Structure 1
Amino acid sequence: MSDNGQRPRRARDLGIVVGPLATGTLNAITDVPGVRVGHTTIVDAPRLHTGVTAIVPDALGPDRRTLPCGLFVGNGFGKLVGATQVAELGAIETPILLTATLSAFRAADALVTYVLASPGHEETRTLNPVVGETNDGRLSDIRVRPLTEARVLAALDGATAGAPDEGCVGAGTGTMALGFKGGIGTSSRLVGGWTVGALVQSNFSGTLTVRGVPIPADGARVPPSADEPEGNSCMIVVATDAPLDARQLGRVARRAVFAMARVGSDFASGSGDYALAFSTPPGVSSSGSAVDAAEGSVAERDLDPFFAATMDAVEEALLNSLLTATTTVGHRGTATAVPHDLVVNRLRAAGVLPQPSAGAPAS
């Protein structure tokens, strides 16, 4: 199976639309005001294909030291640094980093350096860095741990509010998903006057499913070694400017993991599947207590559109992470990009996409 040298394209570039809700301008997590994304990509082929991705909420600063955050653990075979304090207090106090499994701890230390040097932290004595990971050890020599403090700081300092790069970039440089090359993907949805955005690091097993149509990899997937568990992991970060508290955000994070089933995850035993969901507006409780709709917060009865937005945005972000990835020859094998023509043809045959009109160019 070959990708025929195709250029990276997002799901919507191929006519694949997930759900009825409108997207933000960029169809990315950076559509949420004040959320920025940065990457550092490390490639020394074929040995190294790795990196770090930073999700930076500008709402964290000298006048606001925490943001409400919910956590859901779909399967705990992972190393989410800082998870217990997020679960206990319902808050984050640093940007969120994603990287490779054995680099997570170096990334956490560099994140502490970054925050301690930030305004308002001159007297800080305790800090909970939040770093997620997936295992890119098939395409990258994970034992090398090339992620230095300088490279982490470059991702944080270089984070922008523009459209984030996707596919084989940052923390997704060496990942694989659903039998193909995985990576970083993002998407967003509008709910009333608010935005829900998602960013994913895809690296998990199963059968790729697009709009309900299975697209098996037919052997393109690199088989695991005998001592390596199936599954690997998926990290999902959801951001919103809606006034949701930590308990409500935990419910949102739960739906984010549920969305993995839509694209064909088998939720294998060896997969570490985590979702973090945070909210940026001021005045929202991080305590996890019920919110008062009279004070401008979202009432429980009004959460369903946010759940739908989250699942659609995560599903599309996962598809984008594969469709924008490129075939990678790595440390222990090759991961093939999803052939776009295969996806489009299967969806047309299933009646999900319309047949091309006479004389129209092929996708």
Structure 2
Amino acid sequence: MTAGGADARLRARDLGLAPGIFRPGALNAITDVAGLRVGHVTLIEGEGTRTGVTAILPHPGNPFADRVPAGLSVMNGFGKLAGATQLAELGEIETPIVLTNTLAVGRAVEALVDWTLARNPEAVSVNAVVGETNDGRLNDIRARGVTREHVLAALDGAAGGPVAEGSVGAGTGTVAFGFKGGIGTASRLLPPPLGGWTLGALVQANYGGALTMDGIPVGRELSRWYLKEHTDRGDADGSVMVVIATDAPLSDRNLSRLAARAMAGLARTGAAFSDGSGDYAIAFATHPGVRRTAERRAHQAIIADWPNDRMSPLFVAAAEAVEEAVLNAMTMATTITGRDGRTGRRAKVEALDLAALRAVLARHGR
């Protein structure tokens, strides 16, 4: 395994990339949403295992008892998002969200069920939400290196504060736009006249197209993009998982609308949304006034609901945060050498060269 890159890795804003109009939160991370926690387990073992787990806990309490409203959006559905149909049907999530690789979904579901049952002795049904992307270009995915213990460690180690990005957790073996992909995060703050809400996004970037960074055609300028010379180089297929969190008091219906705006953020990065890509976004709200507590689920209750005609600023914030989260995943990722899970051969994917990126940005006046 190669740590990757002679240059120290930097976030997008440190390189002069600052997409959008709203300012980020203090951490420019999904954890700017108060109480939200993120945990990673990164697996780099032997010559072939290059994978991991990322867990997102919506609030400090018991997510099964105090459920959060949620919405789902799917652009291209080539994926294995466990729990998706019940999430869409009921408009809520009752477990943390776990991200991992495609063939680890089953084990992650089992671990998440165990974690939930241990905290809820009355539970007899658990809708575990587990998303995935296929990291088989760098990870010996058939070896199934992710275990129950790894998932539990990510859950139990979740914390607030800065979020590790790049080739970590569920982003350890991912590839995006032909470069090393990974985990990225960003946030946006709405000004008080627009509600003063915080919105954060986290992405597991493993998809492709023609990389665009804050409107600059980086992929084309670095001569690496999908359909270059009319040939599919394999830089389009893949998947992306997006998780959006906000402290605004949103209904599940408006959270589904919010999740759909993640696709605008992905489109700005040059996503191809190809036939073999799974493009999923989950959005949830942590506001105490919309949490579905046991008492509220048992009785008719008045639930706070941000009005439709004030949603547009949140839509803008979601697209911006998702776009910047992808940029952070790309600029923070490190070069990884592993083993292709399909061929068994040694494989290496280079991280985006920041020196070359700086040159491209300079040509565009950044």
Q: Confirm whether residue 237 of structure 1 aligns to residue 243 of structure 2.
A: yes
Alpha-carbon distance between aligned partners in 1 of 2:303 and 2:148, rounded to the nearest angstrom = 42
Assess if the C-alpha contact under 8 Å between 2:199 and 2:318 holds in 1.
Answer: yes
2:147 is aligned to 148
Q: Which residue of 2 aligns with 1:340?
A: 354
**RMSD of aligned Cα (Å):** 2.1
| Residues 1:14 and 1:95: Cα distance change in structure 2 (over 3 Å) | same
Q: Do the aligned residues in 2 keep the contact of 1:40 with 1:53 (CA within 8 Å)? A: yes
Q: In the alignment, is residue 52 of structure 1 matched against residue 62 of structure 2?
A: no
Separation (CA, whole Å) in 1 of partners of 2:23 and 2:225: 34
Other-structure match for 2:175? 176
Find the aligned partners of 1:107 and 1:231 in 2 and give their Cα distance.
Answer: 24
Give TM-score scaled by structure 2 length.
0.88
Find the counterpart in structure 2 of residue 289 from structure 1.
Answer: none
2:330 corresponding residue in structure 1: 322
1:280 to 273, 281, 286: 286
Within a 5 Å distance, the mapping from 1:210-249 to structure 2 comes to 210-216=213-219, 218=223, 231-249=237-255
Do residues 117 (structure 1) and 115 (structure 2) align? no
1:13 is the counterpart of 2:14: yes
Identity of aligned residues (%): 51
Aligned to 2:209: 206
Equivalent residues of 1:49, 1:139 under 8 A apart: yes
Q: Normalization by structure 1: what TM-score? A: 0.88
Cα distance in 1 for residues equivalent to 2:11 and 2:47: 26
Q: What displacement does 1:285 show?
A: 7.3
Over 3 Å counting, the alpha-carbon distance change for 1:219 and 1:80 in structure 2 is same
Displacement of 1:263: 0.7
Aligned to 1:84: 85
| TM-superposed deviation, 1:329 | 1.1
Query: Residue 358 of structure 1 corresponds to which residue in structure 2?
Result: none
Verify the 8 A CA contact 1:69 1:91 in the aligned structure 2. yes
List, as ranges, runs of 4+ consecutive aligned residues in structure 1 with deviation greater than 4 Å.
none
Whole-angstrom distance in 2 between the partners of 1:63 and 1:86:
13
**Equivalent AA in structure 1 for residue 276 of structure 2:** G
Q: Name whichever of 93-102 and 323-332 sits farther off.
A: 323-332
Q: Is the 8 A contact 1:36 1:161 kept in 2?
A: yes
CA-CA distance at 1:220 after TM superposition:
9.4
Q: Which segment is superposed worse, 143-152 or 34-43?
A: 143-152
| Contact 2:40 2:157 survives alignment (8 Å) | yes
- Report the counterpart of residue 343 of structure 2 in structure 1: none
Question: Contact 1:39/1:53 (CA < 8 Å) preserved in 2?
Answer: yes
**1:96 corresponds to 2:124:** no
* Deviation of 1:204 (Å): 0.5
Stretch moving more, 258-267 or 194-203: 258-267
Cα 1:91–1:236 shift into 2, 3 Å: same
Q: CA deviation at 1:284?
A: 2.0
Match of 2:295 in 1: none
Tell me which amino acid in the other structure corresponds to 1:233.
S
Q: Is the 8 A contact 1:77 1:272 kept in 2?
A: yes
1:210 partner amino acid: M
- Cα distance in 2 for partners of 1:325, 1:268 equals 23
Task: Give the aligned partner of residue 350 of structure 1.
Answer: 364
Structure 1: unaligned runs, 5 residues or longer: 287-293, 354-363
| Counterpart Cα distance in 1 of 2:251 and 2:10 | 35
- Separation (CA, whole Å) in 2 of partners of 1:253 and 1:220: 27
C-alpha displacement of 1:296: 5.2
Superposed displacement of residue 347, structure 1: 2.0
Q: What is the CA–CA distance in structure 1 between the aligned matches of 2:13 and 2:322, rounded to whole Å?
A: 14
**Aligned partners of 1:62, 1:234: CA distance in 2, in Å?**
24
Rounded to whole Å, the distance in 1 between the matches of 2:210 and 2:12 is 17
Residues 234 and 99 of structure 1: CA distance in aligned 2, closer, same or farther (over 3 Å): same
Corresponding pairs, count: 337
Aligned partner of 2:126: which letter?
Answer: L
What SS does the corresponding residue of 2:282 show, helix, strand or coil?
A: strand
Distance 1:316 1:219, change over 3 A: closer
Provide the residue aligned with 2:315 in structure 1: 307
Q: Distance in 1 between matches of 2:47 and 2:225?
A: 18
Q: Residues 63 and 128 from structure 1, CA distance in 2 versus in 1: closer, same or farther, beyond 3 angstroms?
A: closer
